[in-house]
Amino acid sequence: MEQTDQLIPPLTQLTEDEQMLKEATADFAEASIKPLVEEMDEKAKLDPDLIKEFFEMGLMGIDIPEQYSGGGGTFMMSIVAIEQISRVDASAGVFMDVQNTLVNNAFVNFASEELKDKYLPQLATEKVGAYCLSEAGSGSDAFALKATATEDGDDFILNGAKLWITNANEADIFLVMANVNPDAGYKGITAFVVERGMEGFSISKKENKLGIRASSTCEILLDNCRVPKENVVGEVGKGYKVAIETLNEGRVGIGAQMIGIAQGAFDAALAYVQERKQFGKAISEFQGVQFQLARMATDIETARLLVYNAARKKMAGQNFLKEAAMAKFYSSEVAESVSSQAVDLFGGYGYVKEYPVEKYYRDSKIGKIYEGTTNMQLSTIAKLLLR
């Protein structure tokens, strides 16, 4: 058999830049985020000084091009960073995930040069972004949204309400989907840049959540909100394209968050079972516990391979719709399963807030729900298999 000089590297092998970012992000998470996790969870609020550190670290504009003051990195670098942050705190992980995989990507891929010049430097260096698609009546059926946009001279007037908006409390720049022609259905959906402080824009109810509590999730109200026509992202009536393509990338980001949660829970459990003694020996010496650990580790590695593969395909310019759906579906299953088993391995201590695994368990649940439920991912996968 003829040997080739160009071997394909292992899927989890990182480039030098990816490895450097992984190490820097892991160190940042341990030093700056970990001491604040319990307090932020209790207060249901990200620490304002921590948000500043995210920008100082360059973690809010990883793959924004350097010409817009960004890091000039890659999508895979964002995925690696999201995973490392989420190993310590999933709220902090989704905070930077939404910025990088949804908001920044929408601007980079669809916005006019004028909008890029105006907003990308802000997103890279100082201002938080939010992505506003969901409504009370349009969750999985995202294109059933009711928010409207009506032309009025040089502006559009937006009316409606957006629900479940991540980063709403911290954000200054909002990417809002509204319909300019409801009779045309999804073909009327248009993406707009709305700034905090614009006439008719307000932030309403903040949700009191089971997990990722420090991540703000709020309702957005649009009451005759006046937005300049030049703030349209992409083409009028093509907002569905912005939404679909951006969410595909976002699902890989959520996959990274989920493997981070799973890895964090597993690491805590692995350390605990080697310290905890019952019947005269560490519980890690019992074969039943060993088998459980082996299955957990295998599931995490499988999920990581799916997430990394989807990210690599995206970077290669290949169709990654099926891979993104698989990564998001499977990683959320693994995060819930692994964190639940971690609670079991801690026994009674796993059920109290003094130990970290109950929070990993609470944080994991959202993975099956946001940015496309598990059933929607399975539906996507099946359609692509059967077409």
Catalytic residues: 371
Radius of gyration of the chain (CA): 21
d(CA 132, CA 152): 22
Q: In angstroms, what CA-CA distances link 7 with 12, 308, 374?
A: 14, 18, 36
Q: In angstroms, what CA-CA distances link 380 with 163, 320, 335, 369, 374?
A: 23, 12, 21, 15, 10
Q: Which two tokens stand for residue 17?
A: 């830049």
Termini Cα distance of the chain? 37
d(CA 96, CA 275): 34
